[in-house]
């Protein structure tokens, strides 16, 4: 399978049909937006990246645009399946549902992204299939993304707009695609891009220092949004002068995942100038309140971003110039340990429920575990951590969480309580 060649979408759907079946049948949580975040955030697509794992044997030969195309396709399909009005209970329903999803993708982009409009017939009058149309439109959409190889910040400031496609699509699939509805979603697309621009501008100005790189990246990002001249002028004014959050018209009554996205875009923007100053930390707390989030939500987003960065540190070369690995990992472990301490009762129960883990953890204190036993303890502990409410939504960095690091995170008091039983 080659995402830059005709027929890639059909091959991809065939290859991933089991995963998509799981999403539609098994991965529905009490809140579909939480499930969608859980699927999208680890891939990096929310941050304009394509470093997350793509489980295909040929993935190592794909370039960044190929990977982005696959992640966008999977995210749009996942969004449609998660927000499907009736839960899918029978796998036999899936072919018809997939066909509907492909038709929706085509109608969505034809109506909301007129610059990507694709005729339903070829030059010779042949009717294109839903698969052909969706594939052609996804090809066009990814052609608009940045191809500045290996630059985290250019990808971040340009390609993170792809997330808004997924968000708006999740709303659009429940409407009738008439002209009034199409006009509304085109307007929403513009307004959400504008909100994103304003949040980034206000965040960059939070420490009252605008360095050369911030200016360069912001100008580049502003160009990529295709905003009208009057809104571009307003965004530049916010960037130059700063703004009170109340004046930005942040969509606080909108969805959880959209607010989460704006918060995490702001967090990453504070990283763009090498260090996060106290003024920027204060700004993030103010932004949380403006988004109707609390400080625990901010901590969870910091955990999600730090975990993502640590898991893919080797691939994020340009980010390495901006952040110190030891500092990021120390912050992450400290945050994780605080959450573990708050949920120590849940963790203790999870450990006690496994006789094998209790035995191995007692043995671990004397440092006598074999490599196989080490791995067994590590996997058990990660599974138990995933039962903590925060980590049901946040993806934990599997490669980073070695057993020694997990031992720093698990509350010490749990060991003495295990010894008592």
The most confident of the ranges 41-55, 130-144, 169-183, 363-377 is 130-144
pLDDT band at 138 (very low <50, low <70, confident <90, very high): very high
Look at residues 201, 355, 338 and name the one whose alpha carbon lies nearest to residue 270: 201
Q: How far apart are CA 207 and CA 150, in angstroms?
A: 27
113: Cβ–Cβ under 8 A, 6 or more apart, which residues?
A: 141, 165, 189
Q: How far apart are CA 217 and CA 6, in angstroms?
A: 34
- pTM value is 0.87
User: Mean of the pLDDT values across residues 366-395?
Assistant: 86
Question: What integer pLDDT is reported at residue 367 of this predicted model?
Answer: 67
Domain boundaries, the chain: 1-151+158-168, 178-292, 294-421
The most confident of the ranges 28-42, 131-145, 207-221 is 131-145
Helix (H, G, I), strand (E, B) or coil at 303: helix
Contact between 378 and 401 under an 8 Å Cβ cutoff? The reply is yes
Give me the DSSP letters along 166-179: HHHHHHHTTS---H
Q: How far apart are CA 136 and CA 271, in angstroms?
A: 36
Looking at the DSSP bridge assignments, the partners of residue 127 are 121
Name which of 55-64, 395-404, 410-419 the model is least confident about: 410-419
Backbone CA torsion sign across 367, 372, 375, 381: negative
Residue showing tokens 């999977």: 74
Q: How far apart are CA 116 and CA 111, in angstroms?
A: 9
**Cα distances (angstroms) measured from residue 132 to each of 17, 66, 71, 148, 209:** 18, 17, 18, 28, 49
């Amino acid at each position: 399978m080659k995402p830059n060649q005709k027929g890639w979408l059909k091959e991809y759907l065939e290859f991933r049909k089991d995963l998509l079946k799981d999403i539609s049948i098994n991965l529905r949580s009490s809140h579909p937006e939480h499930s969608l975040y859980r699927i999208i955030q680890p891939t990096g697509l929310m941050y304009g990246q394509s470093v997350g794992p793509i489980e295909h044997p040929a993935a190592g030969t794909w370039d960044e645009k190929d990977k982005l195309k696959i992640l966008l396709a999977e995210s749009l399909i996942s969004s449609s399946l998660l927000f499907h009005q009736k839960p899918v209970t029978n796998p036999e329903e899936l072919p018809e549902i997939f066909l509907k999803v492909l038709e929706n993708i085509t109608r969505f982009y034809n109506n909301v992204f007129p610059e990507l409009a694709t005729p339903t017939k070829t030059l010779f009058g042949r009717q294109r299939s839903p698969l052909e149309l969706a594939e052609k439109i996804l090809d066009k959409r990814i052609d608009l993304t940045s191809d500045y190889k290996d630059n985290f910040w250019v990808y971040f400031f340009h390609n993170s707009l792809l997330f808004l496609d997924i968000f708006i699509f999740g709303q659009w699939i429940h409407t009738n695609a008439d002209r009034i509805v199409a006009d509304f979603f085109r307007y929403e697309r513009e307004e959400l891009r504008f909100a994103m621009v304003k949040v980034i501008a206000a965040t960059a100005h939070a420490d009252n220092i605008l360095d050369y790189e911030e200016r360069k990246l912001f100008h580049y990002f502003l160009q990529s949004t295709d905003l009208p001249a009057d809104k571009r002028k307003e965004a530049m004014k916010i960037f130059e002068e700063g703004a009170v959050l109340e004046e930005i018209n942040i969509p606080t009554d909108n969805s959880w995942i959209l607010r989460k996205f704006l918060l995490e875009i702001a967090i990453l923007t504070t990283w763009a100038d090498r260090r996060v100053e106290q003024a920027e930390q204060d700004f993030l707390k103010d932004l949380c309140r403006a988004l109707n989030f609390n400080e625990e939500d901010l901590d969870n987003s910091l955990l999600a971003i730090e975990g993502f960065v640590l898991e893919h540190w080797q691939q994020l070369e340009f980010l390495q110039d901006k952040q110190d690995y030891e500092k990021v990992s120390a912050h992450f472990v400290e945050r994780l340990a605080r959450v573990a301490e708050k949920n120590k009762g849940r963790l203790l129960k999870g450990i006690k429920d496994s006789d094998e883990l209790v035995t191995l953890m007692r043995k671990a204190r004397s440092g006598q575990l074999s490599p196989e036993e080490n791995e067994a303890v590590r996997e058990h502990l990660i599974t138990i951590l995933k039962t903590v409410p925060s980590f049901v939504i946040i993806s934990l960095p599997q490669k980073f969480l070695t057993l020694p690091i997990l031992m720093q995170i698990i509350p010490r008091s749990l060991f003495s309580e295990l010894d008592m039983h």
